[in-house]
């Protein structure tokens, strides 16, 4: 009697969030387990194609099973055992992992970048004296400026999409061409508007 009283006066055991997932179908799904001595059935909510429930469990090994449409089931791909009644239950090992030292998790961290991968080049006077380009280099790759082959046009680059292009003076007939290319999934659509130039 005194021993039970001493246990109740101890600090409450820390609860750890534990996610249980049922992936084998069904409509009405519950879960029961040894965390409350099999006294309650908790509903498992549908999450996408699967059913999941987040439980706050104490540290240790817990036994549980799902009740799918009134039938007791277990997940064969997860750790399981047979209880005293001959029924198969799943096992979950709950523990709050805290590494003993930072070095023990060093292999999980990304390696540092080498110093040679960083650098800064100060532009000289010649670079500052150059005139800036009228257009960014990638905008010269517009559909209106490309020459199509017999097999068809090349796939436009993503940097030229949704830009309006204008070009003047094609051939002997003076005209203006406006064009814009859009993409929908893997298809590209280019709309071109031609207008003759009046002299």
Q: What is the pLDDT of residues 82-105, one digit of tens each?
A: 877 788 989 998 876 655 555 555
Low-confidence ranges of the chain (pLDDT < 70): 1-12, 96-111, 135-153, 169-173, 199
- For residue 68, the tally of other CB atoms under 10 A from its CB is 19
Residue 25 CA to residue 40 CA, distance in Å, equals 22
Q: What phi-psi label fits residue 60: left (phi over 0), alpha (psi between -120 and 50 degrees) or beta?
A: left
Distance CA 159, CA 141 (A): 9
Check: CB of residue 181 under 8 Å from CB of residue 156: yes
Q: What integer pLDDT is reported at residue 169 of this predicted model?
A: 66
Against a cut of 0.85, is the pTM above it?
Answer: no
The predicted pLDDT at position 101 comes to 56
- Residue 131: CB atoms within 10 A of its CB come to 5
Tokens, residue 11: 């600090």
């Amino acid at each position: 009697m005194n021993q039970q009283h001493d246990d109740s006066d101890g600090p409450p055991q820390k609860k750890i969030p534990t996610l249980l997932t049922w992936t084998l179908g069904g409509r009405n799904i519950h879960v029961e387990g040894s965390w409350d001595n099999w006294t309650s059935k908790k509903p498992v909510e549908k999450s996408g194609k699967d059913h999941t429930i987040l439980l706050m469990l104490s540290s240790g090994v817990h036994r549980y099973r799902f009740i799918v449409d009134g039938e007791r089931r277990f997940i064969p791909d997860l750790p399981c055992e047979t209880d005293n009644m001959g029924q198969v239950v799943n096992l979950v090992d709950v523990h709050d992992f805290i590494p003993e030292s930072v070095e023990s998790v060093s292999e999980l961290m990304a390696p540092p970048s080498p110093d040679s991968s960083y650098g800064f080049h100060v532009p000289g006077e010649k670079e500052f004296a150059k005139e800036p380009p009228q257009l960014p280099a990638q905008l010269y790759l517009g559909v209106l400026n490309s020459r199509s082959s017999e097999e068809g046009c090349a796939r436009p680059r993503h940097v030229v999409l949704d830009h309006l292009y204008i070009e003047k003076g094609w051939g002997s007939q003076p005209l203006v061409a406006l064009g814009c290319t859009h993409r929908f999934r893997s298809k590209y659509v280019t709309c071109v508007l031609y207008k003759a130039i009046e002299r």
